[in-house]
Amino acid sequence: MKLVLLGAPGAGKGTHATHLSDDYGIPHISTGDIFRANLRNGTELGLKAKSYMDQGLLVPDELTVDLVLDRLKQDDCKNGWILDGFPRNLFQAEALTKALADEGDEIDYAINLIVDDQEIVRRMSGRLVCSSCGVSYNTNGLMPKVDGVCDRCGGPVVRRADDEPETVLKRLNVYHEQTEPIAAYYRGLGKEARVDGALPKDETYALLTGLLGDKDGCHN
């Protein structure tokens, strides 16, 4: 099972990817994790990436692609993988398609977790955090017993600047601009699977497993 996961920040990608990874026995791979692992191990690719990052430059697409393809060759990827945060643009998407095609392979789906912007704003702006101990609260769920005061340490419970509605909307605009061409690219290949991510978590997950099929019947 080879999956690319698309979805706005707050759409629940991380949660569902972790669950799929457990159920299907395939690694959940994010570019952040790949960079960190290569830097930690001082690999040649990692050192190259570091030389850009040290200068405050973006890591070039070619190098990002090399890092991801290198990761996909590792043993735990034999039965497949879930890519999260890659591809980030058309260049990367086409490079992934080509690298797989060279091995006579292709992705199964580019799963597009659809959650409308208003729902994302509602979810994100509901997140509160204790600025002393870092415990999370949520206006749609668990709230501190005393408004604005952490149950655990008595510290102030606040909404992070990143989760303010205007900030969330700005990030969503950037996301849509960057991601729509990638979704359209996979749509053109007949690989895009749009899944309703606005449902309760379990229902969205049931749609995903319905799409991907029984893990035991997983053919590769």
H helices within 55-114, ranges in order? 61-72, 90-102
Q: Which one from 36, 160, 170, 201 is the annotated catalytic residue?
A: 160
159 is catalytic: no
187 is catalytic: no
Cα 64 versus chain centre, distance: 16
DSSP conformation letters of 137-163: EETTS---SBTTB-TTT-PBEE--GGG
Which lies closer to Zn ion via its Cβ, residue 73 or residue 145? 145
Q: Which one from 127, 187, 194, 215 is the annotated catalytic residue?
A: 127
Which lies closer to Zn ion via its Cβ, residue 68 or residue 129? 129
Q: Binding residues for Zn ion, how many (CB under 5 A)?
A: 8
> Is residue 18 near Zn ion by the rule CB under 5 A?
no
160 is catalytic: yes
What 3-state DSSP class applies to 39? helix
Closest approach of Cβ 163 to Zn ion, in Å? Answer: 17
Phi–psi pair at 94, nearest 5 degrees: -70, -35
Which lies closer to Zn ion via its Cβ, residue 19 or residue 127? 127
Q: Which one from 48, 122, 159, 171 is the annotated catalytic residue?
A: 171
13 is catalytic: yes
Q: Which one from 48, 88, 122, 187 is the annotated catalytic residue?
A: 88
Q: What angle do CA 134, 135, 141 make, to 5 degrees?
A: 140
Residues whose CB is less than 8 angstroms from the CB of residue 98 and which lie 6 or more positions away in sequence, other chains included: none
171 is catalytic: yes
> What span, in angstroms and rounded, lies between the C-alpha atoms of 127 and 120?
11
Closest approach of Cβ 148 to Zn ion, in Å? Answer: 11
What 3-state DSSP class applies to 113? strand
> What span, in angstroms and rounded, lies between the C-alpha atoms of 198 and 116?
8
Closest approach of Cβ 138 to Zn ion, in Å? Answer: 15
Binding mask 130-169 for Zn ion (x = CB under 5 A): x-xx-x--------------x-xx-x--------------
Q: Which residues are catalytic?
A: 13, 88, 127, 160, 171
Residues binding Zn ion (CB under 5 A): 130, 132-133, 135, 150, 152-153, 155
